[in-house]
Structure 1
């Protein structure tokens, strides 16, 4: 349709004609995402005209059609100036039933119940428009803060149990967008509008959590059907919003209860299954991201499930949730073409910190990832075990992935260099040891329990023959100088010395040594370091 024709008709058409005109435009442009730049001014004027119609008292069917048009137009960030105003955002906020002044949920709940299906569609379309406009317009983001749109959303959260699916979904998505795009809003949402508690309650309701202890949810029935797709969608939006609100927030003593409650809800989520494996993995990914934001002391909630029984070997703790996280980690490692930095490092970080601060978690994970060595004839990075996969990551091209995988294994080894080398070989571990200044051996600074690692008889018998660089027993190689005469040996040795001298003089290589503190330094510096004087300065 010609936009000039639409604009001229909108000025004089009645409500019924406006609806028909815009319905035709919507049908022709419903799949449009790339707009003609030449018509940018006309589309901006259409935005203004549609807002003018919405500002009048028109029927819900006409409101819905106008909002559908505005939603299509709002995909183009260049035409949003008329909408990204106080008047425009208040009109959309009103259509979405988001009024900051509505503190109590009673009136809103009765309004929700009395809404017709068409009126509900108006609310949904208005929320969709707000999501598009806020995402595409920094000016609209500022206006949203000025008119306290997030406050209206929090008022809406108080009656989340009355939501129809799409109303809840897009309300949560709008809150996620505002908290993501306006970091300055997060503190206000936490302190003044108690958004963390409200979102936790939304999750409880959506996931059908039934408490049987202070931080213990009833175990999901294995025979129960999987979580419905709609519930899963709303839960994911709530998790994303909670992630933003807890990002870089340590909280105080009064927040500890709320954090532990969230950890318990996330444990329940890890035990649930959805309609597809892909959706279950997505849910676990969001749960991992949020768990990383919680204080590490709260992670004990994941294993404190006494009513369902635990494993005596691990202090009677229940390791079901930890096993789910391990399975999730291995799936992310095996996923072909995946972005390890975004998909894998969060769960590696979570398991690393959990192992560093909770002895039972570390012991359980080590038993799964680094079981006692038996076959040491194969290089540590070759094979299909989870240990082999993690050792391969220690030499990954991405520095972040490499360091995270190495740190995880190092913590499982109680930050003991000797233990790490036993499972990975010096060649794979060198990068971590250089970064930590531990080339000379020793331990990290974290204190661990004194329980001893038990070596298998197979490992003990093979240990003297293990190549410390490769971490495995190598087949004996023929000695290349065995059949040489003494003169030939001297000639080859001198040739090697000359080659190194030439490369050193040309600065191609620089001989390095190890200082007593384990750090690398030019060889001449390490040779010139004076020996330590242990005799003391006092005389008897």
Structure 2
């Protein structure tokens, strides 16, 4: 339908005709994602006309149709000028039953109005969808949303989460996520003044049906229970994303510590749940890992300190079920073909690294799974299908972040001991980490670890003298390439090698390096002492 025709008819049409006109426009453009630039001005005028209709007292069916039109138009960020105004955002906020720009006592269009018909509820959903599009596509609308305190209205809506219908809850949480992602200043206000972290925690608790059996211990999910419904899972994911944004900045104090431990307990419960599909379960675990990374590392003891459900005696009575889920998740991410390791794998590696560094039981359990006592040392550490083999391969990954994170994880499991790391990985795989940490000369990192008993197997002890420290395995004897050479041939090859190095050095292709006493690399001339130099400070006899 021609936009000029629609605009001319909207000016004089009654409510019923307006609805029919816009319904036809919506049907023709519902699946259109590219708009003609020539009609940009006309679409902007249509936005203004639709807002004018919404500002009048029209029936919910007409409101819904108008909002559908606005949602379609809001995909085009170039035509959002009329909507990204105080008046436009207040109209949409009112349609969404948010108390945007209103006093606390003003209950008109309040999110607490539970006496909505099904048609009125569709109006709320469409308004929330429009707000999500407009806020995402328009920086001007983002600023107006601050001025009208849209986030405050969303927090008021969070308090009624138990009475939400699915889509109302879903798009309320999505809008809160967008505001917290796009506006750092709003994050601070949401957290400090409107207690959004606590409210979102309560939403998660209700959505995941958490039943507490201890201060930070949720009841174990019933193995026979049905998987988490898809709709509950969708809302939980949006709440986790918003919580991730709100916990990015550091905080302190007893209240925060309690809130973070509560979140950690809920996330442990989530890790033990199954959803309707394996893909959705993995997505839930991914969001849980991201949020756990934001929590203080001291709160991770909540994952294993489960007194009612009990744990394994060899790990101090701690329950390692959640840690095993994280290990399984990590291995799935390593095995996933074509995945982005930096986004998909490094968060869980970082989480397990910090958990192992600060919690002895977590480190001991993970080491038993990842780096069990060595027996077969005839195969290179990076070859094979064990989790150790996969992680050692990552130590030479092309992505620097992935390489460093994998190496740091294994280093912490080895209690930051160079000798232990080399035993499991070989010098060639570990060289990058050792150079970065200044540990080429051996030793330990700065963190202190408890002493464990000797875990070397008899097979490893007997093979240790024959292990190549560079490759980390016992190599088959290689034939001596100069055995058949005459002395003249040996001299010729040696001189040839010297000349090659000299040429590369003069052309600055290579620069001979040595190791300082502190384990760091330096130009060779700086690491060599002059044999004729008297360092004693006095003449020798």
Band the TM-score falls in, shorter-chain normalisation: over 0.9
User: What's 1:30 paired with?
Assistant: 30
Query: Is the contact between residue 109 and residue 159 of structure 1 (CA under 8 Å) also seen in structure 2?
Result: no
Q: In structure 2, what is the Cα distance between the partners aligned to 1:365 and 1:354?
A: 10
Matched, 1:394 2:395: yes
Deviations 1:417-450 (A, max 9, x none): 0000000000000000000000111100011111
Moved more, 487-496 or 299-308: 487-496
Q: In structure 2, what is the Cα distance between the partners aligned to 1:500 and 1:87?
A: 75
Moved more, 503-512 or 106-115: 106-115
- Alignment length (residue pairs): 540
SS at match of 2:102: coil
1:485 is displaced (CA, Å) by 2.3
Deviations 1:218-255 (A, max 9, x none): 00000000000000000000000000000032332321
**Structure 1: any 5+ residue segments left out of the alignment?**
none
Q: In structure 1, what is the Cα distance between the partners aligned to 2:311 and 2:536?
A: 55
- CA RMSD of the aligned region, Å? 2.4
Moved more, 245-254 or 509-518: 245-254
> How do 1:373-452 and structure 2 match up within 5 A?
373-452=374-453
Deviations 1:256-315 (A, max 9, x none): 000000000000000000000000000000000000000000000000001111001100
Q: In structure 1, what is the Cα distance between the partners aligned to 2:485 and 2:353?
A: 52
1:147 is displaced (CA, Å) by 0.3
SS at match of 2:514: strand
Q: In structure 1, what is the Cα distance between the partners aligned to 2:101 and 2:506?
A: 78
Change (3 A) 1:219 1:508: same
Deviations 1:113-164 (A, max 9, x none): 7100000000000000000000000000000000000000000001100000
Q: In structure 1, what is the Cα distance between the partners aligned to 2:363 and 2:231?
A: 36
1:504 is displaced (CA, Å) by 1.5
Query: Is the contact between residue 356 and residue 362 of structure 2 (CA under 8 Å) also seen in structure 1?
Result: yes
Moved more, 219-228 or 525-534: 525-534
Query: Is the contact between residue 112 and residue 162 of structure 1 (CA under 8 Å) also seen in structure 2?
Result: no
Moved more, 236-245 or 102-111: 102-111
Change (3 A) 1:357 1:154: same
Change (3 A) 1:81 1:108: closer
Query: Is the contact between residue 97 and residue 109 of structure 2 (CA under 8 Å) also seen in structure 1?
Result: no
**Structure 2: any 5+ residue segments left out of the alignment?**
none
1:539 is displaced (CA, Å) by 18
Deviations 1:180-214 (A, max 9, x none): 00011111001110000000000000000000000
Query: Is the contact between residue 105 and residue 159 of structure 1 (CA under 8 Å) also seen in structure 2?
Result: no
Q: In structure 1, what is the Cα distance between the partners aligned to 2:4 and 2:242?
A: 41
Query: Is the contact between residue 84 and residue 140 of structure 1 (CA under 8 Å) also seen in structure 2?
Result: yes
Change (3 A) 1:119 1:450: same
Change (3 A) 1:536 1:528: closer
Change (3 A) 1:502 1:219: same
Query: Is the contact between residue 250 and residue 295 of structure 1 (CA under 8 Å) also seen in structure 2?
Result: no
Query: Is the contact between residue 105 and residue 155 of structure 1 (CA under 8 Å) also seen in structure 2?
Result: no
Q: In structure 2, what is the Cα distance between the partners aligned to 1:435 and 1:105?
A: 60
Q: In structure 2, what is the Cα distance between the partners aligned to 1:423 and 1:371?
A: 10
Deviations 1:93-128 (A, max 9, x none): 000000047898997999767100000000000000
Query: Is the contact between residue 105 and residue 156 of structure 1 (CA under 8 Å) also seen in structure 2?
Result: no
Q: In structure 2, what is the Cα distance between the partners aligned to 1:532 and 1:362?
A: 49
User: What's 2:3 paired with?
Assistant: 3
1:496 is displaced (CA, Å) by 1.6
1:535 is displaced (CA, Å) by 9.1
Change (3 A) 1:343 1:86: same
